[in-house]
Amino acid sequence: MPVIREIRDFALTNQAGATMAKADLLGRPWAVNLIFTRCPGPCAQLSGVMRTVQNRMPKESQARLLSLTSDPEFDTPTVLGRYAAKVGADAAGWQFATGSRDAIRRLATEDLMLVLQDKAEAQRESAEDLFLHSTMIILVDAKGRVRNLVEGLEPGAADEVVRVLGELERER
């Protein structure tokens, strides 16, 4: 797999209130997606795909999952913790992260190349329809480099993410 882009350092906070940085990604591959907890659209489905990935990974795997919120003002660590429990996330291998709006947008759009845009009020279908965002799952290698991406809403997405994470793990 080609190296697509290197992720720069960042500082976020996970659902347990702990600080996360790029250094926390290093040494193992990661699958990263973008969600928000009050999403009326595809976020629940994307989280279901990530749960399937979590459940299908071999027990000996060191690969991890990371869900970034596009709604950091609302999605505090406490809110993310409740959401993680609701979607069946194992905190040992699946982190949910929030942070400053600027830090989230820089990581999501510049480093991970995901789409993230606020929706104008006139374009919203409901009060919670706040963002237009990618449904891609980004695969990051043990050196913190973007290596692949999978459309999270496509049939077979979970299987493909598991396959790519396994391949990235074997590179170590």
What is the pLDDT, as a whole number, of residue 70?
87
Residue with tokens 């699958």: 31
Inter-residue contact 108 to 34 (CB < 8 Å): yes
97 bridge partner residues: 14, 68
Which pLDDT tens digit goes with each residue over 105-154? 899 989 998 866 665 666 656 656 555 578 999 999 999 999 999 999 99
pTM: 0.91
For residue 39, what pLDDT band results from cuts at 50, 70 and 90? confident
104 bridge partner residues: none
Which pLDDT tens digit goes with each residue over 70-116? 889 899 999 999 999 999 999 999 999 999 989 998 999 899 988 66
Mean pLDDT for all residues in the chain: 91
Residues 6+ apart with CB under 8 A from 171: 141, 142
Inter-residue contact 98 to 11 (CB < 8 Å): no
What is the pLDDT, as a whole number, of residue 79?
97
For residue 41, what pLDDT band results from cuts at 50, 70 and 90? confident
For residue 40, what pLDDT band results from cuts at 50, 70 and 90? confident
Q: What domains appear along the chain, each with residue ranges and CATH number? A: 5-171 (3.40.30.10)
